[in-house]
Amino acid sequence: MNEQPLREPTLLILTAIADAPRHGYAIAQEVEKISEGRTKMRTGTLYGALERLLEQELIAVHEEEVVDGRRRRSYALAPPGREVLAAEAARIARTAEEATRRLGLGGLGGHDGLGSAVTA
């Protein structure tokens, strides 16, 4: 299993399909929603990433149909993708927890990061 952190577009795509299979346009919409508008995936970038994730077996084609003469696929998170996403979510949570602790934002008895105790 890859120990490197996921690049943000990969993290967002895997997150977008973690709860339900989605087709490309719906994935792009979810990515934008999850990222609070920071990430807007262009069609070519999205489908290139989906092909790479298919090759890595992190995602799978859930369903394929032809609509108006065009192939339409929906994608689902594959078991290895679920493992990778879960590991990345845990890594991010640990990092955020440590940042919160060091900033003294975790509750009473913390420090403000400047060496003084935070008081309620």
The predicted-structure confidence for 101-115, as pLDDT tens digits, reads as follows 999 986 654 444 454
Quickly list DSSP for 74-113.
EEEE-HHHHHHHHHHHHHHHHHHHHHHHHHT-SSTT-B-S
Contact status, residue 31 vs residue 25, Cβ threshold 8 Å: no
When pLDDT is cut at 50, 70 and 90, the band that residue 118 belongs to is: very low
pLDDT in tens, 28-83: 999 999 999 999 999 999 999 999 999 999 999 999 999 888 889 999 999 999 99
84 vs 51: CA distance, rounded Å: 17
Q: Say what the pLDDT of residue 29 is.
A: 97
pTM assigned to the model: 0.82
